[in-house]
């Protein structure tokens, strides 16, 4: 019989005449020891004549009266926490917001989701938040309703609201801002038969707010020698420029006219052929129109070609999803699925001159990407954690041209915010804001309901059904991260350039919502 009686010594304690059956797995014996000592089997080490007992087989000589040595300590009984844990279902809205570090939501005051979504998207721009913080109310402004409807009133109200949102992470009721908006833009205060506010077009709200800020927020300066001058902060950070050429297709001898046009957003036109945002944007760059020809003395067809000669740091793209239907008297929605990228490259939309200026920074991006691929290939046998630990320390590089603060010096953008619409017309349905929080984590701002979402959820906003459809996209600058050693070498070449890069790098921190 493979049954024996053994003694076990554990620290100062001894256990006599314990039965052992070597036909059973050693784990059964360890379970007996656990019952006697409280030492978990996975924490036990059983020794006999220097040999350690395995879990699967009896690999040591056992005989009656043998003494085995047990090593191991039993786990302490968990103490009841001083502060008892609180479960998600027991938390109120404010406690949930604090636990998940979610930003403040905005209460819907009756079909005001268009305003709430717009504000959340605009607030994602760190430079705009900082510019509003620095804004001071001007003395001697207009009084009465004229003063309340002024750009100054809107700007101050947005400043106060954003500061309130920064201090809190629960729901905020934007009554004062809504009042200022209604006074400045009476069409937004229209009510229906039941007395509630009518739904409004979020892109119209977006555009009107930028025009108000355009009049009050001054342009920022990078250095005294900055050569590119801007009339306002909005023109500087959100404004781009087209080089436009008009050519009469019916009179080849007529000289082409050239001009410049400023823009605060690009339009993505939607036709039967368009499936991707990039192709929709290209439709805007080549158009045909009819106008008076001085050489022919009559209306003629002209070809209009537009190319971007100045890219802003923050590029707004509007999907032209609404078309007016006179019979129904509504702006009907085009539900077509239009794919948009998380990383957007505007290089092909630019003039040859701007493309040449963008090349140096684009080359650096490619060098870093190639180095990352090489590092990954060399470490293909290493774990993800090991590769992460071996990543070199990096510093962000400026994303603006040295002589043009608020520009984009590479043509590369990263999606930062999405304003969506759910419904069949611009004057009905529901608007929601989606803002990048950190890395690939996003926040959905459904009025005062704020919740985290992943990047896959953002890509599903391309349209094609009754789900939320992307209406306005806000792209921020893609920031180049250079290894510290590389950055030091570049900085050593030109002290003045290094100083400017340092200023730009501070500006070029990765975007996140507070």
| Domains assigned to the chain | 3-71 (3.10.20.90)
Per DSSP, the three-state class of 254 is coil
Catalytic residue among 113, 121, 268, 400: 113
What phi and psi values does residue 463 have, to the nearest 5 degrees?
A: 100, -165
Question: SS3 string of 27-73?
Answer: HHHHHHHHHHHCCCHHHCEEEECCEECCCCCCCCCCCCCCEEEEECC
What phi and psi values does residue 117 have, to the nearest 5 degrees?
A: -65, -40
Burial of 162 (0-12, 13-18, 19+ CB in 10 A): buried
Helix pair 202-216, 151-167: axis angle to 10 deg? 100
Mean pLDDT value of segment 262-275: 92
Residue 400 has pLDDT above 60, yes or no: yes
Instruction: Examine the residue annotation and report whether 430 is marked as an active-site residue of this protein.
Output: yes
Integer-rounded Cα Rg, in Å, for the chain is: 33
Residue 62 has pLDDT above 70, yes or no: yes
Given this model, what pLDDT does residue 393 score? 85
Q: Identify whether the C-beta of residue 53 lies closer than 8 Å to the C-beta of residue 60.
A: yes
Strands 298-310 and 286-293: antiparallel
| Cα separation, 174 vs 168, whole angstroms | 13
Q: For the chain, what is the mean pLDDT? A: 85
| Cα separation, 121 vs 176, whole angstroms | 19
Residue 363 is given by DSSP the state H
| Cα separation, 280 vs 285, whole angstroms | 9
Given this model, what pLDDT does residue 500 score? 38
Which CA distances in Å does 138 have to 141, 156, 213, 217, 223?
A: 7, 10, 14, 12, 26
* CB burial string 464-485: b at 16+ within 10 A, e below: eeeebbbbbbbbbbbbbbbeee
| 167 contacts: CB under 8 Å, gap ≥ 6 | none
Residue 142 has pLDDT above 60, yes or no: no
Q: How confident is the model at residue 22 (pLDDT cuts 50, 70, 90)?
A: confident
Tokens 């180049």 belong to which residue?
Answer: 480
Residue length, the chain?
514
Catalytic residue among 121, 430, 449, 468: 430
Alpha helices by DSSP H, 108-201: 113-123, 126-134, 144-148, 151-167, 175-184
Q: Quick: pLDDT tens for 322-344.
A: 776 666 666 777 888 999 999 99
Structure tokens at 354: 């701007």
Residue 101 has pLDDT above 90, yes or no: no
Instruction: Examine the residue annotation and report whether 230 is marked as an active-site residue of this protein.
Output: no
User: How many CB atoms within 10 Å of residue 137?
Assistant: 11
Structure tokens at 490: 């570049």
- In this structure, of 92-96, 126-130, 462-466, the range with the lowest mean pLDDT score is 92-96
User: What DSSP line would sit under 282-350, residue for residue?
Assistant: HHHHEEEEEEEETTTTEEEEEEEEEEEEE-BSSEEEEE--EEEETTTTEEEE-----B--SEEE-GGGB
Residue 376 has pLDDT above 80, yes or no: no
CA angle 356, 357, 358 (to 5 degrees): 90
Give this prediction's pTM: 0.75
Residue 87 has pLDDT above 50, yes or no: yes
Q: Quick: pLDDT tens for 298-312.
A: 999 999 999 999 999
Q: How confident is the model at residue 262 (pLDDT cuts 50, 70, 90)?
A: very high
Strands 266-268 and 315-319: parallel
Q: Identify whether the C-beta of residue 198 lies closer than 8 Å to the C-beta of residue 111.
A: yes
Which CA distances in Å does 420 have to 275, 294, 463, 464, 471?
A: 18, 45, 9, 13, 5
| Cα separation, 375 vs 378, whole angstroms | 5
User: How many CB atoms within 10 Å of residue 34?
Assistant: 18
Q: Identify whether the C-beta of residue 342 lies closer than 8 Å to the C-beta of residue 459.
A: yes
| Cα separation, 170 vs 105, whole angstroms | 6
Q: Identify whether the C-beta of residue 166 lies closer than 8 Å to the C-beta of residue 127.
A: no
Residue 206 has pLDDT above 80, yes or no: yes
């Amino acid at each position: 019989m493979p049954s024996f009686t053994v003694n076990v010594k554990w620290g100062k304690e001894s256990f006599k005449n314990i039965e052992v059956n070597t036909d059973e797995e050693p784990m059964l014996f360890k379970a007996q020891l656990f019952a006697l000592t409280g030492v978990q089997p996975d924490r036990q080490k059983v020794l006999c004549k220097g040999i350690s007992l395995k879990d699967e087989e009896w690999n040591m000589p056992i005989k009656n009266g043998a003494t085995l040595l047990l090593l191991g300590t039993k786990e302490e009984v968990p103490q009841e926490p001083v502060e008892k844990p609180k479960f998600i279902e027991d938390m109120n809205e404010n406690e949930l917001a604090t636990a998940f570090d979610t930003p403040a939501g905005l209460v819907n005051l009756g079909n005001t989701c268009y305003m709430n979504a717009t504000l959340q998207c605009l607030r994602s721009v760190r430079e705009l938040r900082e510019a509003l913080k620095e804004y001071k109310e001007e003395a001697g402004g207009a009084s009465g309703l004229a003063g309340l409807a002024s750009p100054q009133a809107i700007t101050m109200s947005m400043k106060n609201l954003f500061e309130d949102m920064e201090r809190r992470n629960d729901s905020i009721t934007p009554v004062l801002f809504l009042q200022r908006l209604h006074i400045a833009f009476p069409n937004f205060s229209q009510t229906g038969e039941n007395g509630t506010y009518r739904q409004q077009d979020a892109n119209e709200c977006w555009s009107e707010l930028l025009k108000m800020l355009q009049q009050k927020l001054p342009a920022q300066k990078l250095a005294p020698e900055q050569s590119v001058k801007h009339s306002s902060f909005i023109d500087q950070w959100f404004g781009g420029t087209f080089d436009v050429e008009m050519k009469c297709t019916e009179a080849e001898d007529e000289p082409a006219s050239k001009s410049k046009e400023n823009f605060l957003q690009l339009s993505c036109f939607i036709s039967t052929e368009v499936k991707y945002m990039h192709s929709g944007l290209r439709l805007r760059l080549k158009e045909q129109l009819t106008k008076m020809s001085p050489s022919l003395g009559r209306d003629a067809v002209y070809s209009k070609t537009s190319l971007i000669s100045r890219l802003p740091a923050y590029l707004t793209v509007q999907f032209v999803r609404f078309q007016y239907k006179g019979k129904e008297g509504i702006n009907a929605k085009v539900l077509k699925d239009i794919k948009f990228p998380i990383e957007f490259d505007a290089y092909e939309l630019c003039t040859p001159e701007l493309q040449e200026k963008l090349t140096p920074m684009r080359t650096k991006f490619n060098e870093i990407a190639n180095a990352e691929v090489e590092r990954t290939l060399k470490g293909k046998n290493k774990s993800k954690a090991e590769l992460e630990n071996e990543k070199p320390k990096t510093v962000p590089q400026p994303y603006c041209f040295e002589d043009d603060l608020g520009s984009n010096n590479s043509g590369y953008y990263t999606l930062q915010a999405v304003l969506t619409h759910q419904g069949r017309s611009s004057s009905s349905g529901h608007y929601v804001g989606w803002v990048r929080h950190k890395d690939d984590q996003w926040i959905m701002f459904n009025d005062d309901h704020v919740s985290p979402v992943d990047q896959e959820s953002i890509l599903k906003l391309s349209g094609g059904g009754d789900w939320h459809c992307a209406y306005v996209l806000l792209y921020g600058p893609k920031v180049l991260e250079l290894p510290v050693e590389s950055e030091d070498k570049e900085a050593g070449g030109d002290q003045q350039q290094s100083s400017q890069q340092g200023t730009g790098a501070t500006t070029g921190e990765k975007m996140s919502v507070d």
